[in-house]
Amino acid sequence: MKDIEQLLDKMASELRARLAARQAVNPLMIGIHSGGVWVAERLHALMDMKEPLGQLDISFYRDDFTRIGLNPSVRPSQLPFTVDGRHIILVDDVLYTGRTIRAALNEIFDYGRPDSVTLAVLVDRGGRELPIQADVVGTSMSLSTHEHVKLSGPEPLQLIIKQTP
C-alpha cells in the first residue's frame, strides 16, 4: 500500500501549482465527511491555509436518499465562510461513481456561487457513473467490482481494500 503522507505531500504540491497557475489567491478548502475531512485537514495544514476548513455532510443531497434512507450519523455541514466569488478546493478520500461529488457540488452551490472548484481526491478507483474527474489525485487504483477501498482514520490514515459480498 502506498505511503499516505507521501501522497498528501504530492497532492499539496500539485494544488499549490494549480492555484498559482490560476492566480487563485486565498482559496477555501472543503472536506466531504468523513474521510474527505481527514484528508482535507492534512492538506489544509500542509498548505498553511489561513481560512478555516469547511466540512460538508452530503447525506441530504445524495440521489439515493429516498431509497436508502437517512444515515444515522448525519452531521450538519460547516462552511464558516462565504463561497461567493471564491476559489474552492473540494476534497474527498475516494472517487468512485462521482455521485458523492455531484451531491457536494449541489450543496456548495446552495451556499453561493464560487469562481471555481478544484477537486482533489486521495484515491481515484475508476468506475465513474457520472462525468466527474478529479483535478488532483494522490493515487489511482484498478479494483474489481468485488473490491472496495476505504480510508480509515483519522489517526493513522490507512487505506484498506476489502472484498464486497
Q: pLDDT of the chain along its 165 residues, tens only?
A: 579 999 999 999 999 999 999 999 999 999 999 899 999 999 999 999 999 999 999 987 766 655 545 555 667 899 999 999 999 999 999 999 999 999 999 999 999 999 999 999 999 999 999 999 999 999 999 998 889 999 999 899 999 999 987
pLDDT value at residue 61 = 79
pLDDT value at residue 73 = 62
Give the predicted TM-score (pTM) of the model. 0.92
pLDDT value at residue 145 = 83
Among 36, 38, 18, 14, smallest CA distance to 103 is for: 36
Rounded distance between C-alpha atoms, residue 20 and residue 131, angstroms: 26
* Cell numbers representing residue 83 in the block: 463561497
The range of the structural domain enclosing residue 153 comes to: 4-163
Number of domains in the chain: 1
pLDDT value at residue 55 = 97
Report the CATH number that the domain containing residue 37 is assigned in CATH. 3.40.50.2020
| DSSP 8-state class, residue 161 | E
Contact criterion met (CB below 8 Å) for 3 and 106: no
CB-side neighbour CA atoms (13 Å) of 78? 11
- DSSP for 102-142 reads HHHHHHHHHH---SEEEEEEEEE----SSS---SEEEEE--
